[in-house]
């Protein structure tokens, strides 16, 4: 293959394109930080403790099969949504197999503490309705096949486009060619590994560690590509006047 002698690099870009690429990468970087924060506030609270752990991943995909979805939520990510005495009544109702005869007592508690978020417009289960509450009182089997399919295709389509453009920008960097190819391909490989790990954990909880590796792999590659691209677009060592 014949390579161009005067290859366009980041340092040779006009200021217009440097500003364009910098703006794009700053917004994408902020978006990735927000995605990380969202993970910590949802999956990261699945076991009721701050910080993402193996138990969080297992509970999110395989489920906490020692109890129901309702109980897992009330002791995990929804732990701060109701007073302890209210959660005790709700959990006791769940452990008693959600008897409809006690709904007049328990229903208003769900209405008061849960209905503000769990309404018809939010897309969340309307737990103030008896039939919905009873379904969530069943054993927690984690994410459903339907939800995994939905989230998987969103991540594969959406995030792959992010790394397409990030890789395209980084492709113009002055960098060792072998390592450049590795860094460009790494996010795609680890994205597939990350999504595959959700399905594996759904059936085999021991695979939860793969999710940790998947997220860490494409995050590190992104940091290197972002830092290198910013440096070569703006630092005097690389920019050509």
The domains of the chain are located at 11-44+143-234, 65-136
Global pTM value: 0.70
Nearest to 191 by CA among 162, 214, 222, 170: 214
At residue 25, the pLDDT reads: 94
Taking the CA atoms of 109, 114, 116 and 121 in sequence, report the sign of the dihedral they define. Answer: negative
Please tell me the predicted confidence (pLDDT) of residue 45.
Answer: 66
- Give me the pLDDT at residue 145, please: 92
According to the model, what pLDDT value does residue 233 have? 93
User: Which regions in the chain score pLDDT beneath 50?
Assistant: 1-5
Pairs from 147-151 (Cβ < 8 Å, separation ≥ 24): 148/61, 148/198, 148/199, 148/202, 151/198
pLDDT attached to residue 2: 37
pLDDT score for 168:
95
């Amino acid at each position: 293959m014949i390579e161009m002698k005067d290859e366009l690099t980041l340092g040779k870009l006009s200021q217009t394109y440097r500003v364009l690429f910098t703006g794009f990468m700053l917004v994408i970087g902020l978006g990735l930080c927000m995605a990380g924060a969202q993970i910590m506030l949802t999956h990261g609270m699945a076991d009721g403790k701050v910080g993402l752990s193996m138990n969080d991943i297992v509970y999110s995909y395989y489920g906490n099969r020692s109890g129901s979805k309702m109980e897992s939520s009330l002791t995990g990510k929804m732990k701060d949504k109701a007073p302890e005495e209210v959660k005790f009544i709700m959990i006791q109702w769940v452990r008693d197999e959600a008897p409809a005869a006690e709904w007049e007592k328990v229903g208003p508690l769900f209405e008061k503490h849960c209905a503000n978020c769990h309404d018809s417009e939010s897309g969340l289960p309307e737990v103030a309705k008896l039939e919905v509450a009873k379904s969530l009182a069943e054993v927690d089997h984690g994410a459903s096949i339907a939800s995994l399919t939905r989230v998987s295709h969103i991540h594969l389509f959406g995030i792959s486009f992010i790394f397409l453009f990030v890789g395209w920008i980084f492709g113009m960097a002055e960098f060792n060619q072998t390592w450049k190819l590795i860094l460009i391909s790494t996010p795609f490989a680890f994205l597939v590994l990350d999504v595959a790990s959700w399905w594996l954990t759904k059936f085999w909880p021991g695979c939860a560690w793969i999710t940790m590796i998947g997220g860490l792999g494409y995050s590190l590659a992104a940091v290197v590509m972002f830092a290198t691209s910013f440096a070569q677009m703006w630092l005097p060592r690389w920019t050509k006047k």
